[in-house]
């Protein structure tokens, strides 16, 4: 089933209920409540331009404080950050919510207030409790601010990031080294295309590289103006900090020392005039330990249990289907079965009225450590090509029959290996494909998205169970690699399996999560990630698969500003499995107890479902996964260096089926009436699959496209 169709069927009842409830809400007390999602309160300071407040001299003279208007809404809410008046949780990500914690790897802990995070149409705020486990912000986080009618002329966009590093850039993003020195971070900006009102649009400042773990960053805005040419003044709260007049704003008095030492001091040392600043702050990213310790522990325990007692998790075949050559010219037979794996999740039922909806969360003991209890049964699918059965074709060079673990698409299942594209690849290249389902984002999970969109406090259902799902994949890989050569359904049919090497190939969601799988696998050295991306909350807006999802989400959260903050919030949970946090661990910085890997990534130009620009962020990050030569004949990838063919190691090859690059912005491409959606095309192209197989067997990325980029049309 196509991704967009799945979401449409899933979300129709949500759209009806969400919209009708939202319209009722407009006449209730909830719409006049002073909190982050109230239109009346949030709009009191759209631009952050409180021109009455910025009167204190920067030398801290004794001039009297300018009078301030009575504080209302977010400005009066102690759970909000007053530095940018656009939204309670802006600027995002804010140091206001990073409390000192000596038990955390970063020395910090997220402590959002009870009403800091957005609320839905039922007046239910996102609960800060799950985020208190985090010791910093996402390594893919955008900066979120709001200035009414902001003029972004001359700022970096997704096609040209070089203005972000210019000396006169209006937005400055710095990484702070351990010795305190600063280095610039490339970025691009975009005003939220989901919001029709230019006075309310969120400004996204998206990092052009994957941010480093457990690292402090400083950001500064200066010389901003609106579309009429009017300069923005600082908010009252920021002006008090900047000008040393904390007596003028008691909301920021406790932060003055930190800002002087950790923000203004380093900026001044870097030559940034303090008086020129409209807004500045700092934040810390999460540590790798915080993001990955749970999933690494699960992996290590499960694989150790398989090695200690293989029979406890043995593959069980429940059905074998043989095909005649007339029925399937490529596949000889298909097997379905099950395997058992330790279960680290437990059911959690969320009640809405009298109706209970059950999801799954990680089971934790009294010390907050994940723990397993019992087992869970998972399905398997195995497809054996005719080329793997009986004597080899004397006209073809002999190839060993090797195993490929397949990763399926969005809310699908392992049954997606059943189809002509995979069948032909398997036959042509002597590959036995096998798969299971990504628990957490599989077909039997997508119904829960109905309830997650209504109340994002349930989002932990997805992110917790997905950790179990990744470990299930790793466990199946170990079982197949160790048991396949002596597997009775193979030996009884004269099928020889060479398990000296095993590979991974995933498409769409399987390409996204495939990078996570590759970073964590101890059994697969080389993998292919097809039409991939990273950082879910970065590419969701750019995906046609999620159009209806966003209609429902905006119905539940009521404003695009709330949606922007909410997505960045849930990304804090998603980072544990999102490939944005694992790409650097594929080869540059392998996880503990894990070998280095290499990946061949194959995005499609103009992809309607997964944006290739998120892979360009990977290419700019110095982690050994570059774009390959002749990446595109229309444009160069800003601030990225192309690698020459042949290349041993990882690389990104762009497949061009005639689609244009979409108009920049956080929206899906317009569907090409002539060329259609290229999302499913690369794997149906023989040269793509030959390149993939060559990479699998030799580790080399070779040019099969004629030296001028891959243009199958």
Tell me what pLDDT residue 392 has. Answer: 62
Q: What kind and span of H or E run contains 384? A: strand 375-385
- Dist CA 406 CA 416 (whole Å): 9
6-20, 276-290, 393-407: which is most confident: 276-290
| Half-sphere exposure at residue 608, Cβ-oriented, CA atoms within 13 angstroms | 19
Query: Does residue 45 surpass a pLDDT of 70?
Result: no
CB atoms within 10 A of CB 384: 27
Query: Does residue 694 surpass a pLDDT of 60?
Result: yes
Tell me what pLDDT residue 400 has. Answer: 87
* Residue 563 φ/ψ, nearest 5 degrees: -60, -45
- Dist CA 473 CA 378 (whole Å): 10
- Structure confidence by residue, pLDDT tens digits, 21-35: 333 333 333 333 334
Tell me what pLDDT residue 248 has. Answer: 87
- Of 28-37, 211-220, 468-477, 580-589, the one with minimum mean pLDDT is 28-37
Residue with tokens 């009191």: 44
- Of 9-13, 61-65, 153-157, 191-195, the one with minimum mean pLDDT is 9-13
Q: Can you say whether the dihedral through the CA atoms of 669, 674, 677, 678 is positive or negative?
A: negative
Question: Is the preceding omega at residue 93 within 30 degrees of 0, hence cis?
Answer: yes
463 Cβ contact list (under 8 Å, min separation 6): 440, 570, 573, 574, 576, 577
131 Cβ contact list (under 8 Å, min separation 6): 110, 112, 569, 572, 573
Residue with tokens 């259609």: 676
- Structure confidence by residue, pLDDT tens digits, 511-531: 999 999 999 999 999 999 999
Q: Among 94, 104, 200, which Cα is nearest to 147's?
A: 200
Retrieve residue 578's tokens: 């999102």
Tell me what pLDDT residue 504 has. Answer: 98
The answer to whether 121 and 25 have CB atoms below 8 angstroms apart is: yes
219 DSSP β-pair partners: 173, 281
Q: Among 154, 153, 220, 156, which Cα is nearest to 187's?
A: 156
Tell me what pLDDT residue 40 has. Answer: 35
Tell me what pLDDT residue 420 has. Answer: 87
* Residue 224 φ/ψ, nearest 5 degrees: -80, 150
Spell out the alpha helix ranges (H) of 309-447: 420-429
Predicted TM-score (pTM) above 0.85: yes
712 Cβ contact list (under 8 Å, min separation 6): 655, 656, 657, 681, 685, 687, 688
- Structure confidence by residue, pLDDT tens digits, 411-437: 999 999 998 889 999 999 999 999 999
Domain coordinates of the chain in residue numbers? Answer: 35-286, 288-496
Tell me what pLDDT residue 310 has. Answer: 85
- Dist CA 686 CA 425 (whole Å): 8
Provide the angle, in degrees to the nearest 10, between the axes of the packed helices 509-520 and 460-483. 60
Instruction: Report the CATH fold assignment for 35-286.
Output: Immunoglobulin-like (2.60.40)
- Dist CA 47 CA 122 (whole Å): 28
For the chain, how big is the Rg over CA atoms in Å? 26
- Dist CA 652 CA 323 (whole Å): 36
The full DSSP string for 416-456 is GG-SHHHHHHHHHHTEEEEE---TTSBTTTGGGHHHHHH-G
Q: What percent of the chain has pLDDT over 70?
A: 89
- Dist CA 703 CA 266 (whole Å): 47
Residue 675, burial from CB neighbour count under 10 angstroms (0-12, 13-18, 19+) = middle
């Amino acid at each position: 089933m196509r991704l967009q169709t799945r979401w449409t069927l899933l979300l129709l009842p949500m759209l009806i209920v969400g919209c009708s409830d939202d319209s009722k809400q407009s006449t209730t007390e909830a719409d006049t409540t002073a909190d982050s999602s109230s239109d009346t309160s949030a709009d009191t300071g759209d631009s952050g331009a409180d021109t009455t407040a910025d009167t204190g001299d920067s030398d801290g003279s004794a001039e009297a404080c300018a009078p301030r208007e009575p504080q209302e809404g977010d400005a009066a809410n102690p759970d909000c950050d007053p530095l940018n008046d656009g939204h309670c949780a802006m600027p995002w990500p804010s140091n206001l919510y990073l409390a000192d914690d000596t038990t955390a790897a970063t020395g910090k802990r997220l402590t959002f207030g009870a009403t800091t995070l957005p609320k839905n149409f039922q007046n239910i705020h996102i609960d800060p409790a799950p985020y208190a486990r985090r010791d910093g912000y996402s390594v893919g986080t955008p900066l979120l601010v709001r200035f009414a009618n902001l003029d972004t002329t001359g700022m970096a966009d997704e096609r040209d990031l070089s203005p972000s590093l210019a000396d006169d850039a209006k937005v400055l993003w710095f990484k702070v080294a351990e010795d305190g020195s600063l280095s610039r971070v490339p970025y691009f900006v975009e005003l939220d295309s989901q919001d029709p009102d230019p006075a309310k649009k969120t400004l996204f400042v998206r990092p052009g590289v994957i941010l480093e773990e457990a690292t402090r960053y400083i950001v500064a805005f200066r010389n901003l103006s609106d579309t009429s040419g009017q300069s923005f003044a600082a908010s009252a709260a920021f002006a008090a900090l900047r000008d040393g007049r904390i007596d003028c704003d008691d909301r920021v008095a406790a932060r003055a020392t930190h800002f002087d030492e950790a923000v203004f001091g380093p900026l001044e040392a870097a030559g940034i005039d303090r008086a020129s600043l409209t807004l500045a702050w700092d934040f810390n990213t999460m540590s790798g330990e915080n993001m990955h310790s749970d999933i690494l522990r699960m992996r290590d325990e499960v694989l150790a249990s398989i090695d200690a007692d293989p029979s406890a998790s043995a593959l069980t075949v429940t059905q074998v289907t043989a095909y005649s050559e007339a029925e399937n010219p490529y596949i000889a037979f298909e097997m379905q079965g099950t395997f058992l794996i330790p279960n680290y999740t437990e059911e959690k039922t969320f009640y809405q009225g009298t109706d209970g909806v059950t999801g799954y969360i990680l089971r934790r003991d009294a010390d907050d450590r994940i723990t397993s209890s019992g087992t869970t049964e998972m399905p398997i699918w195995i497809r054996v090509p005719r080329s793997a059965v009986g004597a080899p074709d004397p006209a073809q060079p002999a190839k060993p029959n090797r195993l490929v673990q397949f990763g399926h698409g969005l809310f699908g299942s392992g049954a997606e290996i059943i189809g002509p594209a995979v069948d032909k690849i398997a036959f042509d290249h002597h590959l036995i494909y096998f798969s299971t389902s990504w628990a957490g984002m599989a077909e039997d999970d997508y119904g829960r998205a109905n309830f997650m969109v209504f109340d994002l406090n349930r989002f932990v259902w997805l992110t917790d169970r997905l950790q179990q799902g990744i470990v299930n994949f790793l466990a199946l890989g170990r079982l197949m690699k160790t048991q396949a050569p002596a597997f009775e359904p193979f030996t009884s049919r004269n099928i020889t399996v060479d398990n000296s090497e095993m590979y991974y190939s995933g498409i769409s969601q399987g390409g996204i999560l495939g990078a996570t799988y590759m970073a964590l696998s101890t059994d697969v050295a080389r993998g292919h990630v097809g039409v991939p991306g990273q950082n879910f909350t970065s590419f969701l807006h750019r995906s046609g698969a999620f159009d209806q999802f966003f209609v429902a989400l905006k119905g539940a959260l009521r404003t695009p500003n709330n949606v922007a903050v909410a997505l960045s919030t849930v990304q804090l949970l998603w980072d544990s499995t999102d490939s944005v946090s694992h790409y650097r661990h594929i080869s540059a910085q392998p996880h503990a107890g894990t070998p280095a890997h290499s990946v061949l990534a194959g995005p499609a130009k103009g992809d309607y479902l997964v944006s290739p620009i998120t892979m360009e962020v990977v290419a700019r990050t110095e982690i050994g996964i570059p774009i390959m030569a002749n990446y595109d004949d229309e444009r160069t990838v800003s601030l990225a260096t192309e690698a020459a063919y042949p290349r041993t190691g990882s690389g990104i090859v762009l497949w061009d089926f005639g689609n244009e690059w979409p108009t920049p912005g956080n929206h899906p491409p317009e569907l090409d009436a002539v060329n259609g959606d290229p999302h499913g095309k690369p794997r149906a192209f023989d040269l793509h699959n030959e390149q993939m197989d060559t990479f699998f067997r030799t580790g080399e990325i070779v040019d099969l496209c004629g030296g001028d980029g891959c243009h199958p049309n």
